[in-house]
Amino acid sequence: METIELMGGALTLSQVEAVARHGARVVLSDEAKARVNRARELVERTVKEGKVRYGITTGFGKFSETTISEADSVKLQKNLIMSHSCGVGKPFDPEIVRAMLLLRAGALSVGHSGIRLSTIETLLEMLNRDILPVVPEKGSLGASGDLVPLSHMALALMGMGPVTYKGKVMSGEEALGAEGLSPVSLTAKEGLALNNGTQAMTAIGALALWDAENLVKTADILGAFTVEALTGIVDAFDPGIHLLRGQPGQQASAENIRKLLAGSGLATRQGEKRVQDAYALRCIPQIHGATRDSVGFIGGVIRRELNAVTDNPLLFPDRDLVLSGGNFHGQYPAMAMDFLAIAASELADVSERRVERMVNPQLSNGLPAFLTRDGGLNSGFMIAQYTAAALVSENKVLAHPACVDSIPTSANQEDHVSMGMTSARKAREVIQNVTDVLGVELMCAAQAADLRGAEKLSPAASAVYKLVREEVPFLPEDDVLAPYMARCSALISSGRVAKAAESAVGEIA
**In a shared domain, residues 355 and 478:** yes
* Rg for the chain, CA atoms, rounded: 26
pLDDT at 434: 98
As a whole number of angstroms, the distance between CA 457 and CA 3 comes to 42
Q: What is the pLDDT at residue 49?
A: 81
Residues 481, 351: one domain?
Answer: yes
What range defines the domain where residue 96 resides? 3-197
Choose, from 54, 165, 332, 484, the residue flagged as catalytic: 54
Domain count, the chain: 2
| pTM for the full predicted model | 0.95
Q: Which of 144, 164, 197 is the last residue of a domain?
A: 197
Both 48 and 82 in one domain: the answer is yes
Mean pLDDT of the region 436-461: 98
Q: pLDDT value at position 53? A: 80
Query: Could you report the per-residue pLDDT of 127-162, keeping only the tens digit for each?
Result: 999 999 999 999 999 988 899 999 999 999 999 999
401-411 tens-digit pLDDT: 999 999 888 88
Which pLDDT score is estimated for 300? 98
Cis preceding linkage at 144, omega within 30: yes
DSSP symbol at 133: E
In angstroms, the CA 451 to CA 464 distance is: 16
SS3 content of the chain, % helix, strand, coil (to 5): 60, 10, 30
Shared domain check, 343 and 212: yes
Share above pLDDT 90 across residues of the chain, in percent, rounded to a whole number: 89
Q: What is the DSSP letter of 321?
A: E
Tell me, yes or no, whether 416 and 341 share the same domain.
yes
Does 231 share its domain with 210? yes
Question: Looking at the structure, do residues 407 and 327 belong to the same domain, yes or no?
Answer: yes
| 236 and 181 together in one domain | no
The tens digit of pLDDT for each residue in 176-186 reads 999 999 999 99
Last residue of some domain: 170, 197, 224?
197
Last residue of a domain, one of 168, 197, 226: 197
Look over the chain and give the mean of its residue pLDDT values, rounded to a whole number: 95
Average pLDDT over residues 252-281: 97
Task: Let me know whether 189 and 306 are in one domain.
Answer: no
Task: Give me the CATH number covering residue 425.
Answer: 1.20.200.10
pLDDT of 58 reads: 77
> Looking at this protein, which amino acid is placed at residue 415?
D
317: nearest Cα among 114, 115, 39:
39
pLDDT at residue 30 in the model: 97
Query: How far is Cα 192 from Cα 435, in angstroms, rounded to an integer?
Result: 38
- Is 54 catalytic? The answer is yes
Residue 48 belongs to domain with CATH number: 1.10.275.10
* Integer angstrom CA distances of residue 52 from 39, 60, 71: 17, 13, 15
pLDDT (tens digit, 9 = 90+) per residue, 331-369?
999 999 999 999 999 999 999 999 999 999 999 999 999
Task: Tell me: do 227 and 157 sit in the same domain.
Answer: no
Same domain, 329 and 434: yes
Q: Are residues 184 and 321 in the same domain?
A: no
Contact 30, 6 (CB under 8 A): no
pLDDT digits (tens, 9 = 90+) for 360-381: 999 999 999 999 999 999 999 9
pLDDT at 303: 98
Q: What is the predicted pLDDT for the residue at 73? A: 77
Q: Tens of pLDDT along 19-73?
A: 999 999 999 999 999 999 999 999 988 888 878 787 777 777 667 667 777 777 7
Residue 62, pLDDT score: 65
